[in-house]
Structure 1
Amino acid sequence: MLTSLRADLEMARRGYGRYAAYPGAAVAGIFTNTVFGFMRAFILLALYQQRETVGGYDASAAVTYVWVGQALLMTVFMWGWLDIAVRIRTGDIATDLVRPIHPLRAALGFDLGRAAYHIVFRGIPPFVVGMAFFPVRLPSEIAVWIAFLVSLVLAVVVSFFFRVLYNVVGFWTTDVRGTMMLGGIIANLFSGFLIPVSFFPDWLAAIARATPFPSIVQTPIDIFVGAVSGPAIVGALVTQIAWAIALGLAARWTFDLGVRRLVVQGG
């Protein structure tokens, strides 16, 4: 077990180091995230000109929602990730299969390292800028901060397994970009990144909550802003865990199915 843990930590270190090698990209990303944060915050605040609350959020909660969302954008990284698909296309996946650690486990460790880098260097700076210009509010209880951090890790795991599912399509087709784009559109809408799910009409909100996507964005933000509190936090975390397990099993089954197809065809 200790050896496996060391392997996981090493993959996380490599994931962190891969993105830390490009500080220029981080600076550009901070600027872009901040600009879009201002745009989204002003648009949402316009909804509060004639009312005090919308969808259960007051103006302060709404702008906090925006800036936490901007901080999580690259951390949870719902679209644009094709690492496994590229390795399938190039044949490098064959090398991964003979290593002592399962390719998905290695990729998850790598992705957690990537997420750690992005929350620190692409997430916190725009959030601090948002705090300087908008009535952003922070959790006042240590327990809420802990719950938020746990929820954030679970959000990354749920997002990872979702991304694996559109990547392993590469076992059956040479180009997964169409699948990735479709998944990204659905995830953008139903995760609560664009607007909180509670802003949706009841029928659309019900559909969104029946998917794993709110567990990627909406849940950690709701815990942070206090839209979910008390015992409801436990329920929210359990839901995230359930989706992580369900998508993890689906990703592992689909990946192994693709590997069997590859082996049968002599790949």
Structure 2
Amino acid sequence: MSAALTPYWLIFRAGVRRQSTYWLATIGGLVANLTFGFLKAAILFATVEAAGGNLQGYDLATMSGYVWLSQGLLGCINAHGQSEIGDRIKNGDIAIDFARPTSVFASFAASDLGGGAYSFLPRGLPAIIVGALTTGIALAHDVSGWALGLLAVALGMMLSFCGRYAVNILGLWLVETRGLQVFYMVVSTFLMGLFIPVGLFPAWLKTVAHATPFPAMFMTPIDLLSGRIDGWAGAAAVGVQLAWLALLVTVCLLLTRLGRRYLEVQGG
């Protein structure tokens, strides 16, 4: 590994170790995911059956895939608006981060991705396995579908980080960003398809959702891993993720650069 990437790899590993420390929280998260997974499954299964067994392309197997994959990905694709950088801006520690010989954006991204990657193993994967054993789930049909699906998960994690980073980096101007965090959480969780699949939205709302990066964060990995989209359609969906990622990374880097010029830290 090149010397330029080594610090970020070490930060990624530190993010894994930090997340692994809170094993009671991980167990609590898994229990919550399973509880809400069964509740969501009961409601959505009843809806599909009431529609005659097929609801806008969702049958019981694909709906089950949506339910358990969505619950399983919650640990690594965060829908809340909080980010560590927001707290460091508020207490002034961000000045130390700017003084380090590493990219502030890349450092926080590496730490966040490390924690998210760890969360998937003890929290996300068991939820998917329990769903498969209890209600059965539809999954990707071939190796290419799995490869695209796992790539989409990684891109979804990065998109999720960029969204939260952009909200919290505004603290360089606002200092207090809790209101923005709550607003972001409400909008993102709905438009990403956390409660119901985006495919079930009314046409106008579906258009609004796809005008944002939120479905690319969450629904794209689920659709690929559940086999709802594959082949060229799957590749195109990953292409959309990459386009959103390029845009969001650019925005995050620009906000960081402009905010660094504006930053003023008092006290000592």
TM-score band, normalised by shorter chain? over 0.9
Residues in 2 aligned to 1:182 and 1:242: alpha-carbon distance in whole angstroms: 24
Give the letter aligned to residue 95 of structure 1: I
Counting only pairs closer than 5 Å after superposition, residues 50-89 of structure 1 correspond to structure 2 as: 50=50, 51-89=52-90
Question: Does 161-170 or 254-263 show the bigger shift?
Answer: 254-263
Hey, what does 1:97 align to over in structure 2? 98
Identity percentage of aligned residues: 33
1:216-256 Cα distance to aligned partner (Å, 9 max, x none): 10000011112211101111011000101101111111121
Counting only pairs closer than 5 Å after superposition, residues 168-207 of structure 1 correspond to structure 2 as: 168-207=169-208
Residues in 2 aligned to 1:266 and 1:83: alpha-carbon distance in whole angstroms: 20
Give the letter aligned to residue 64 of structure 1: G
1:243 is aligned to 2:214? no
Hey, what does 1:19 align to over in structure 2? 19
Give the letter aligned to residue 255 of structure 1: T
Question: Does 171-180 or 24-33 show the bigger shift?
Answer: 171-180
Residues in 1 aligned to 2:96 and 2:49: alpha-carbon distance in whole angstroms: 58
Residues in 1 aligned to 2:72 and 2:117: alpha-carbon distance in whole angstroms: 12
Name the SS of the counterpart of 1:76 in structure 2: coil
User: Where do 5+ consecutive residues of structure 2 fail to align?
Assistant: none
Hey, what does 1:36 align to over in structure 2? 36
Residues in 2 aligned to 1:230 and 1:61: alpha-carbon distance in whole angstroms: 17
After superposing on structure 2, the runs of 4+ consecutive aligned residues of structure 1 that deviate more than 4 Å are: none
Residues in 2 aligned to 1:99 and 1:238: alpha-carbon distance in whole angstroms: 34
1:233 is aligned to 2:245? no
Residues in 1 aligned to 2:89 and 2:26: alpha-carbon distance in whole angstroms: 28
1:148-178 Cα distance to aligned partner (Å, 9 max, x none): 1100010011111100111012112232111
Hey, what does 1:49 align to over in structure 2? 49
Residues in 1 aligned to 2:266 and 2:223: alpha-carbon distance in whole angstroms: 48
1:138 is aligned to 2:142? no
Name the SS of the counterpart of 2:258 in structure 1: helix
Residues in 2 aligned to 1:7 and 1:256: alpha-carbon distance in whole angstroms: 21
TM-score between the two structures when normalised by the length of structure 2: 0.95
Residues in 2 aligned to 1:18 and 1:115: alpha-carbon distance in whole angstroms: 11
Name the SS of the counterpart of 1:216 in structure 2: helix
Residue 72 of structure 1: how far off its partner (Å): 0.7
User: Where do 5+ consecutive residues of structure 1 fail to align?
Assistant: none
Give the letter aligned to residue 40 of structure 2: R
Residues in 2 aligned to 1:162 and 1:104: alpha-carbon distance in whole angstroms: 12
Residues in 2 aligned to 1:228 and 1:211: alpha-carbon distance in whole angstroms: 20
The answer to whether the Cα contact below 8 Å between 2:37 and 2:67 also exists between their aligned partners in 1 is yes
1:108-140 Cα distance to aligned partner (Å, 9 max, x none): 111110111111111011111111210213323
How much is the aligned-residue C-alpha RMSD, in angstroms?
Answer: 1.4
Residue 80 of structure 1: how far off its partner (Å): 4.5
Give the letter aligned to residue 145 of structure 2: V
Residues in 2 aligned to 1:18 and 1:81: alpha-carbon distance in whole angstroms: 17
Residues in 2 aligned to 1:137 and 1:40: alpha-carbon distance in whole angstroms: 16
1:15-64 Cα distance to aligned partner (Å, 9 max, x none): 11111011111111111110000000111001122312112111110011
